[in-house]
């Protein structure tokens, strides 16, 4: 890439770690308990499997495992991390957030600040943006970001319209002020709060507190307007993608790989069509993991690296949309 494209020295993604539960639930497994079929799920979503936590497993443990790998793969040690941002939509408990438990479990410095960030499925890209700006504006040097989700805990396993779509997982990265890895060329965060209720879990908060009998009330599970989400998703990912490209002074033809939020293969194909990009430049792993919300981008990015698709020097575009409606993109050179 041409050095003159860089407007300033930007932070780097130094590493990526990932973790998914061992337990796999196949479409055929779901056929046994739901009025659904492998054919319906595959043709509408591209999903074949999802990895799901066992009842006794704690969601934050996935974040810990992904973080350990991200730190090991990076040139820094646990003692060097100076901020932790956990992007998640669920929590081990309502108060406090999940971040202090992960910091504690990882044995990071007792001085390290931490916070949770809730931005739907776009959380990991929001966290990259926040970390990059904390490095540029506040002088942090090595920030651990985590995208962690266990939506299996908040879907209704009797509601075929939602439970087939999601899986559990976590991804983590160390974002550094300098070093090897992916140079962040541009980041963006957008939102459309008029679409706040397209994806929602109403019960359990202050408007609709936990109540007796809530297990039979659909408002206490994740629900969505599937068609509305579908229509908005492509426009959101396209807008944020074009925005980061324009900001970096690059064109789609400069991009080697796109890693989109892995919600549904039809949305991904529609995005490719809308951008005029061939599917062979898009990393897809929704078939194996389903929609792991904040974890889809790091899981897919890492797969692209591990299988040798994404190579040093490649320009990679990450883009996501989700509840809120929060959406965004990151452009980087690996
Ligand atoms: O991170 C963002 C998360 N959300 C998304 O990405 C969701 C985006 N939306 C979608 O991907 C699609 O809207 C879905 C895959 C969720 C649904 O596809 P659709 O083509 O919009 O289907 P639909 O909701 O219009 O439902 C069509 C039919 C309905 O039956 P009737 O009313 O036509 O008799 C549903 O009841 O399919 C039925 N249906 C199912 N049938 C078998 C819904 N879920 C299932 C299922 N198995 N799992």
139/145 Cα distance (integer angstroms): 16
- Cα(225) to ligand 1 centroid in Å equals 9
How do residues 144-163 score in pLDDT, each as one tens digit? 999 999 999 999 999 999 99
pLDDT at residue number 234:
96
Q: What is the pLDDT of residue 187?
A: 96
pLDDT at residue 9, rounded to an integer: 60
Q: pLDDT by residue (tens digit) across 178-223?
A: 877 899 999 999 999 999 999 999 999 999 999 888 989 999 999 9
pLDDT of residue 213: 86
Identify the segments of the chain with pLDDT beneath 50: 1-7
Give the pLDDT confidence score for residue 212 in this predicted structure. Answer: 87
The whole-model pTM stands at: 0.95
CB atoms within 10 A of CB 37: 14
Is 40 touching ligand 1 by the criterion CB < 6 Å? yes
Marked catalytic residue, from 12, 89, 121, 163? 121
For ligand 1, atom 20, the nearest C-alpha belongs to 44
* Residue-level pLDDT at 6: 40
Average pLDDT score, the chain = 95
Q: Which residues of 139-175 are buried (b: 16+ CB within 10 A; e: fewer)?
A: ebbbbbbbbbbbbbebbbeeebebbbbbbbbbbbbbb
Rounded Cα–Cα distance for residues 220 and 328 (Å):
28
Q: What is the predicted pLDDT for the residue at 181?
A: 84
pLDDT of residue 8: 54
Report yes or no: 241 and 268 within 8 Å, Cβ to Cβ.
no
Q: Is beta strand 83-88 parallel, antiparallel or unpaired with respect to 114-117?
A: parallel
Residue 176 backbone dihedrals phi, psi, to 5 degrees? -120, 155
**Is residue 36 lining ligand 1, measured as CB closer than 6 Å?**
yes
């Amino acid at each position: 890439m041409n050095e003159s494209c860089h407007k300033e020295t930007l932070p780097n993604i130094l590493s990526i770690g990932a973790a998914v539960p061992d337990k796999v639930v196949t479409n055929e497994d779901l056929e046994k308990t739901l009025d659904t079929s492998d054919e319906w799920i595959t043709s509408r979503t591209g999903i074949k499997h999802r990895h799901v936590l066992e009842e006794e497993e704690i969601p934050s443990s996935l974040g810990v495992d992904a973080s350990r790998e991200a730190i090991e793969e990076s040139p820094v040690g646990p003692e060097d991390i100076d901020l932790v941002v956990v992007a998640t939509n669920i929590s081990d408990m309502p108060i406090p957030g999940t971040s202090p438990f992960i910091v504690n479990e990882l044995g990071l410095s007792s001085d390290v600040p931490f916070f949770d960030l809730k931005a739907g499925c776009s959380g990991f890209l929001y966290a990259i943006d926040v970390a990059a700006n904390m490095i540029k504006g506040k002088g942090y040097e090595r920030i651990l970001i985590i995208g962690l989700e266990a939506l299996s805990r908040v879907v209704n396993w009797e509601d075929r319209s939602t439970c087939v779509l999601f899986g559990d997982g976590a991804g983590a990265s160390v974002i550094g002020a300098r070093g090897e890895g992916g140079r962040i060329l541009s980041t963006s965060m957008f939102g459309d709060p008029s679409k706040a209720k397209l994806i929602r879990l109403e019960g359990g908060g202050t408007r609709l507190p936990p109540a007796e009998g809530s297990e039979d009330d659909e408002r206490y599970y994740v629900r969505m307007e599937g068609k509305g989400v579908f229509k908005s998703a492509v426009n959101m990912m396209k807008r944020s993608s074009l925005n980061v490209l324009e900001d970096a002074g690059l064109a789609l033809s400069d991009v080697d790989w796109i890693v989109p939020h892995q919600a549904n293969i039809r949305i991904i194909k529609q995005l490719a069509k809308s951008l005029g990009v061939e599917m062979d430049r898009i990393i897809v792993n929704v078939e194996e993991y389903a929609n792991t919300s904040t974890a889809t981008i790091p899981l897919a990015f890492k797969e692209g690296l591990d299988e040798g698709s994404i190579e040093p020097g490649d320009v990679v575009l990450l883009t996501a949309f989700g509840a809120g409606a929060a959406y965004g993109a990151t452009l980087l050179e690996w």
